[in-house]
Amino acid sequence: MKPVSYWLDSAPAFAGGETGAVEGEVDVAVVGGGFTGLSAALALAQAGASVMVLERGRVVGAQSGRNGGHVNNGLAHDFGATAGRLGLAQARGLYQAFDAAVDTVERIVMDQQIACDFRRGGKIKLAASAAHFEGMARGFDVLQREADAETELLERGRVREEIGSDIFHGALVYRRSAQMHMGKFGAGLAVAAARHGARIFENAGVTQWRRQGGAAYRLTTARGIVLARRVFVATGAAVDGPWFFRRRIIPIGSFIIATAPLSEAQVNSIMPTRRTATTTRHIGNYFRIAPDNRLIFGGRARFALSNPASDVKSGLVLQGQLREMFPQIAAVPIDYCWGGEVDATADRLPRAGERDGMVYAMGLSGHGTQMSVHLGQCMARVIAGEAAANPLAGLAWPAVAGHFGPPWFLPAVGLYYRIKDRLGA
C-alpha cells in the first residue's frame, strides 16, 4: 500500500507558485491554500483585488487533497431535528446553501475548464440499523416537503438496486450530489486563481499575526512579511492559528483506503449506480468509485489524529470493514492508504464570519469539498462589501468547553460512539 493520498498521487502538482520572498502590500492575504482559500482567491482576483495566498505546505496538500472525493448536498444531521433546533427557516436556508455549494463547484469546473472527472450521480445514505432506518423514515416527509422534493426513501428490499451488500436496513437517495477527482480539481483551481492574478506562495505558513494600525494586518511567514488590508482565514483544522478558532475547531482524524482498479463486473456487483455513499453509523463509512474503477473507502476507523502509524492501523480497520460490507471483492489488493483531518465543530455545521478584522470560513465537518469552494466564493463577496453574501450569518459559535487546542477528549468520545454503534442506536 502506498501511504499517500490517491488524489495527490494521481494528479499533477500545482507548478505555478511564487518563487520569491513574501513581501509588499496586498488588498487581501488569504491564509490557507486549500479549496476554501483558492476559491476565495479566484473570486477576489477576478474582481480586481490584489491577492496573496499563504500556504504552510503544498497547495491542496492537507484536507482538500486527502478526502473521500464526494461533492454532496444534504446536512449531516436529520433535517427535521435541525429545524427543531434552529427553526425551519434557518434549517431550510442551510440546506439550500449546501445545494448551492454543489452548483458552485460545477460552475467553477465549467467556467475554468478544469478537467477533474466531475459527475452528478447523486448520493445514497445507508441505514446501518433498523432503528436508524426508522428515524430516517420518520424525518423523510418533512425533508421532502420543506427542503428537497427530489429525495427518495428506499426500503431494505430495494437497497440491492444501489449497493451490493446485505448489511443495510434501508436508504435515502439524494439526487443533486456529485463527485470528482480532488487532486485534479485542486491543481486546476490553483491554476485558475493564478491565471487571474492571485499570487500563491507554498511553504509560507503564517507564524505571527499582528494588527498594523487601523484594520490592516502584518503577517509574518516562513518566507517573509506582508501587509494586508484584509485577511481571509481558511486554515481548516490547523491548531496553531488564532486562539478564537482553536477553541471552536476540533480536528478529527479521517482515514481512507483505495483498492486496485476493479473490473466492470466487480463495480457493478458493489455499486451499480456509482453514486457517492455514506452510512449512518456514528463511526461510519463513506465510499465511491474512482474514475479508474478503484473503490475509495473511508471512515473515522479510529478516534485518533492522522500520522504514519495511525494511518496504517486505521487502514487495517477499514480493510476489515470493506470486506464485511463487500465480501465479493475481499481478495482485491489495497493500493493506497492515507489519513487527514476533518475540521469539525461541536454541532457539525460550518462557520463563516468576521472576527477582529479577519474574515474566516472553516469548521466544514465533513462537508468540505462543496462548502469550502462555496464559502470561499461567498466570503470573497463579503470582503468586497456584500455582507448579505454570507449564508451562515447569525449562526452562533460558542467555544467547546474544556477545549484549548489538541482534542484530548477524542478517545472518550470514540468509546461512546462505538458503544452506540454496537447497540444500533
In tens digits, the chain (425 residues) has pLDDT values of: 899 999 999 999 999 999 999 999 999 999 999 999 999 999 999 999 999 999 999 999 988 999 999 999 998 888 999 999 999 999 999 999 999 999 999 999 999 999 999 999 999 999 999 999 999 999 999 999 999 999 999 999 999 999 999 999 999 999 999 999 999 999 999 999 999 999 999 999 999 989 887 768 999 999 999 999 999 999 976 656 677 888 898 888 889 999 999 999 999 999 999 999 999 987 789 999 999 999 999 997 666 667 777 888 888 999 999 999 999 999 999 999 998 888 889 888 999 999 888 999 999 887 778 999 999 999 999 999 999 999 999 899 999 988 877 776 666 666 656 666 676 76
- Residue 148 in 3-state DSSP? coil
Residue 414 contacts residue 253 (beta carbons within 8 Å) = no
Q: Which residues pair with 287 in a beta bridge?
A: 277, 297
Q: Is 231 left (phi over 0), alpha (psi -120 to 50) or beta?
A: beta
SS3 content of the chain, % helix, strand, coil (to 5): 35, 25, 40
Residue 30 contacts residue 55 (beta carbons within 8 Å) = no
Q: Which residues pair with 219 in a beta bridge?
A: 209, 226
Residue listed under C-alpha cell 471552536: 248
C-alpha cell at 193: 486563481
Phi–psi pair at 374, nearest 5 degrees: -65, -45
- Residue 320 in 3-state DSSP? helix
Q: Of 326, 335, 337, which is closest to residue 268 (Cα–Cα)?
A: 326
Q: How many helices (H) and strands (E) does the chain have?
A: 11, 19
Residue 208 contacts residue 8 (beta carbons within 8 Å) = no
Q: Of 340, 53, 64, which is closest to residue 203 (Cα–Cα)?
A: 53
Q: Which residues contact 110 (CB under 8 A, 6 or more apart)?
A: none
Phi–psi pair at 409, nearest 5 degrees: -90, 0
Domain layout of the chain by residue ranges: 6-411
Q: Which residues pair with 125 in a beta bridge?
A: 172, 278
pLDDT tens for each residue of 343-375: 889 888 999 999 888 999 999 887 778 999 999
pLDDT of residue 36: 96
Q: Of 199, 224, 189, 225, which is closest to residue 210 (Cα–Cα)?
A: 225
Amino acid at 107: R
Q: What superfamily would CATH give domain 6-411?
A: FAD/NAD(P)-binding domain (3.50.50.60)
- Residue 252 in 3-state DSSP? strand
CA atoms within 13 A on the CB side of 128: 19
CA 53, CA 43: separation in Å to the nearest integer?
13
Residue 34 contacts residue 236 (beta carbons within 8 Å) = yes
Burial 25-47 (b: 16+ CB within 10 A, else e): ebbbbbbbbbbbbbbbbbbbbbe
Burial 402-411 (b: 16+ CB within 10 A, else e): ebeeebeebe
Phi–psi pair at 177, nearest 5 degrees: -75, 165
pLDDT of residue 415: 60
pLDDT of residue 310: 80
Residue 31 contacts residue 219 (beta carbons within 8 Å) = yes
CA 370, CA 179: separation in Å to the nearest integer?
10
pLDDT of residue 416: 55
